[in-house]
Structure 1
Amino acid sequence: MGLLSGMFMGALFGIAIMAGWRYMMMLRSKSRAAKAADIKLLGSLDREDLKKLCGDNYPEWISFPVYEQVRASFWICEIALHLSRRLGFFAFFKQVKWLNKQLSKLWPYVAEAATIIIRESVEPILEEYRPSAISSLKFSKLSLGNVAPKIEGIRVQSTKPGQITMDMDFRWGGNPDIVLGIAAAGVSLPIQLKDLQVFTIIRVIFQLCDEIPCISAVVVALLSEPKPRFDYTLKAVGGSLTAVPGLSDMIEDTVTSIITDMLQWPHRIVVPLGGVPVDTSDLELKPQGKLMLTIGKANHLKNMEMMGKSDPYAVAFIRPLEKFKTKVIENNLNPVWNQMFHLTVEDKETQYAVVEVFDEDIGSDQRLGIAKLPLVDLEPQIEKDIELRLQPSLDMLKIKDKKDRGTITVKAMYHPFTKEEQDAALAEEKRMLEEKEKMRDDGAINSTMDAVDDPKHVVG
């Protein structure tokens, strides 16, 4: 009897469960049908209609069928801009924290790959920018260590269809093991780079596309303001830095020149991503205009000679690889040159022209003074007379002797390029670099960093 009653109660219980389940499914179906009707109604409204109804507080389940109307990359830009405005610091703080966590995990693999790339790509650059006093400059040892860099902040600077521009605060207090093999003045000396500290702001431009991973190319550059900070110490391995006089300063000048000429905005590195070939020509650095710079005269130069007076000449450049020099005026502290140079400008808003005055001497020429001329203040096609005060260095924080070095007077006029002039300038830049490399190979100059006279760029 107990068995029968148990079977009966079990059957009733099962029927009750089935009936309840059917009832719940009917309610769920009605709810989903009602929600679908609401979504269909809202789907017939456009963005402006919804703003009138809801303001900016859209329900999370509302979306817009825009796939056929605009590129997906536009909405990525809009989302990034929305996050930066709506969520502000906290959203990007979480994003930065996540990026640093992933970078720490990936750093051993990133460092290994970066070491190979640096050795293959940087050594030719070191040779190109090598000072004339150094006959060989290569890596004897190269390891980036196990401490990953950190991103301390991200700011979205601009968004437009197909492109996002961000600035990232970058810091690296790494423990790399870098040894440079240097040969100079008949002495071979391994130099170890220690206690590396890097702080800079990196400008990153993402070129977006519709295909996964949604980024077709990345542009990377260092911002010039505030000035990138690279702190390190140089230690001779088994010797002394004094074995080659001025070696530490030469290495520091070389590093500064490479960073300024290759990595500091407007100069940039363009990296295509993904397997689909893309056109990155719009992202690459292009000539924007021409600076016609006339170096007139200098006054009250500092005398560097024990007997007699200095033999000054001036060097003008925007990029260190495109330097031009005036004639030498012997035994004169108030020289007059009146020579014009045509210098290529890539970004008038951020670049400046540099004018250096040297004393020609046997062996190594001595710098008498240096000055820079920001281009942003120049009006197109209007010549401007400017007097520049000469300084011992552009980085006065490292200079103890801050005595007056005199002045130099110049005339400057900026000419913006047409498309045809831009193409001609690109071809001329290539010709000049090839000519300087040939001169270096023939022994006419020691380095492509050396200043030269070029009849196409100088008017005496």
Structure 2
Amino acid sequence: MGLLSGIFLGIAFGIGLMAGWNHMMKYRSNKRVSKAVDMKLLGTLNRDDLKKICGDNFPEWISFPVFEQVKWMNKKLGKLWPYVADAATMVIKESVEPLLEEYRPPGITSLKFNKFSLGTVPPKIEGIRVQSLKKGQVTMDIDFRWCGDPSIILGVEAALVASIPIQLKDLEMYSVIRVIFQLSEEIPCISAVVVALLSEPKPKIEYVLKAVGGSLTAIPGLSDMIDDTVNSIVTDMLQWPHRIVVPIGGIPVDTSELELKPQGKLTVTVVKANDLKNMEMIGKSDPYVVLHIRPVFKVKSNVVENNLNPVWNQTFDLIAEDKETQSLIFEVFDKDIGQDKRLGIVKVPLIDLEAESWKDMELRLMPALDMLKVKDKKDRGTLTIKVHSYSLVWVSLCYPRCLGILVVFV
């Protein structure tokens, strides 16, 4: 009898234990699901939403990082950098060296690389943000930092001056790079890549110039010339909306949709200037105006001799690709026997211009666009202009970098 009752009690206890365990597991599972739902809802809240919920108890240390850290990518890049640097060195030298002549400043007769190497220190990727995902295309913004040890020597020649090797040392670069991948069904699954530097935050490029076996003073203003050339190349070729399109893979692909296209036309009349700064020891300056949206497509007014209040009344047509990010630049120079001196500069963002209407503007000239580097901050006078902007929709333009694009003036 005792044996039977023991068996019965043991079976009952086992069933009860199993039932209790099953109930506890279901309870914990439901709690986990409930927490997961709550976490998902919290994940959709932004900083302002949490402040409304928490009120004064919201901790200020809570942040919402825009960029995702990719430490694993930096480790891989460090191992692959010797091979990446060799390949990039060849590509950069072959593509950039021909452009040095195109962007060569006045007063310099030759500008080329005597030596170019990216060094042994790899760049660092601080974070990556996926900007957009759409059919056949992925857009990423990469927070990029590089304090490298490249070996870059420029051969600079000027009139009546022998070639001077100029070394770029202590190069530092901080920027956000926009990369657009055009996807394909063929291996390697990427048919083309677009690379550009975002204008905001503004790319920061710092370096030190040092003459090898000579002095920078051999060519007056050489440092400023090289700085202007570097800034022009970066702004005109790499700063968004400008971009470099690189086809990938052995199959020919259509990259026309990735290329930068004209969106608008500006008709600009340079009317006059007043109270220009005199740069001459004897007589007065001989001013003229250079205007552009892209540095490589500059137009120039006539020279008005011996006049600090010149009148030009000349009209020019310029093409714009992106009114949101581009600007119209005016530079006033003094024509001289040697190097022309800049009297003043001013920038007009295209977004400030109204479409399909004339706008009269009196612009105050500045010594430089970046006033932090300027010691002489005295008044440089004013420039009077008229601007008319058009939208481009359909008509054939002889545009050096966009041949065959159809555009029409509305």
- Is 1:180 aligned to residue 127 of structure 2? no
TM-superposed deviation, 1:272: 1.6
C-alpha distance in 2 between matches for 1:374 and 1:331: 31
Contact 1:369–1:392 (CA under 8 A) maintained in structure 2 = yes
Q: Give the counterpart of 1:280 among 235, 255, 260.
A: 255
- Is 1:139 aligned to residue 113 of structure 2? yes
Q: Say if 1:210 and 1:338 are closer, same or farther in 2 by CA, change over 3 A.
A: same
Letter paired with 1:285: L
C-alpha distance in 1 between matches for 2:83 and 2:66: 28
Q: Say if 1:187 and 1:292 are closer, same or farther in 2 by CA, change over 3 A.
A: same
Q: Which 5+ residue runs of structure 1 have no aligned equivalent?
A: 1-53, 58-81, 83-87, 432-460
Contact 2:106–2:339 (CA under 8 A) maintained in structure 1 = no
Q: Give the counterpart of 1:299 among 258, 270, 274.
A: 274
SS at match of 1:146: coil
TM-superposed deviation, 1:427: 6.0
- Residue aligning to 2:335: 360
TM-score normalised by structure 1 residue count: 0.71
Q: Give the counterpart of 2:318 among 343, 358, 371.
A: 343
Q: Give the counterpart of 1:216 among 165, 184, 191.
A: 191
SS at match of 1:248: helix
Q: Give the counterpart of 2:136 among 162, 168, 181.
A: 162
- Residue aligning to 1:333: 308
TM-superposed deviation, 1:426: 2.7
- Is 1:381 aligned to residue 356 of structure 2? yes
TM-superposed deviation, 1:392: 0.6
C-alpha distance in 1 between matches for 2:186 and 2:86: 29
SS at match of 1:203: strand
Q: Say if 1:153 and 1:428 are closer, same or farther in 2 by CA, change over 3 A.
A: closer
SS at match of 1:376: helix
Contact 2:261–2:402 (CA under 8 A) maintained in structure 1 = no
C-alpha distance in 1 between matches for 2:385 and 2:304: 17
- Is 1:399 aligned to residue 374 of structure 2? yes
TM-superposed deviation, 1:278: 2.0
What does 1:51-450 align with in structure 2 at a 5 Å threshold?
93-94=68-69, 96-185=70-159, 186-419=161-394, 421=395, 423-426=396-399
SS at match of 2:397: helix
TM-score normalised by structure 2 residue count: 0.79
| Deviation digits for residues 382-404 of structure 1 (CA, Å, limit 9, x no counterpart) | 11111211001111111111111
Contact 1:150–1:171 (CA under 8 A) maintained in structure 2 = yes
C-alpha distance in 2 between matches for 1:250 and 1:232: 14
Contact 2:102–2:296 (CA under 8 A) maintained in structure 1 = no
SS at match of 1:373: strand
C-alpha distance in 1 between matches for 2:241 and 2:102: 20
- Residue aligning to 1:71: none
SS at match of 1:426: coil
TM-superposed deviation, 1:353: 0.6
| Deviation digits for residues 42-92 of structure 1 (CA, Å, limit 9, x no counterpart) | xxxxxxxxxxxx9x96xxxxxxxxxxxxxxxxxxxxxxxx9xxxxx96896
Going by fraction, where is helix more abundant, 1 or 2?
1
* Count of matched residue pairs: 349
| Deviation digits for residues 270-318 of structure 1 (CA, Å, limit 9, x no counterpart) | 1122333321100001111111111111111111122222121111111
What RMSD over aligned residues (CA atoms) do the two structures have, in Å? 2.6
Q: Say if 1:93 and 1:286 are closer, same or farther in 2 by CA, change over 3 A.
A: closer
C-alpha distance in 2 between matches for 1:378 and 1:397: 27
Q: Which 5+ residue runs of structure 2 have no aligned equivalent?
A: 1-33, 38-43, 45-62, 405-410
Q: Say if 1:264 and 1:183 are closer, same or farther in 2 by CA, change over 3 A.
A: same
SS at match of 1:108: helix
Q: Say if 1:353 and 1:98 are closer, same or farther in 2 by CA, change over 3 A.
A: same
C-alpha distance in 2 between matches for 1:187 and 1:333: 36
Going by fraction, where is strand more abundant, 1 or 2?
2
C-alpha distance in 1 between matches for 2:321 and 2:202: 19
Q: Say if 1:147 and 1:353 are closer, same or farther in 2 by CA, change over 3 A.
A: same
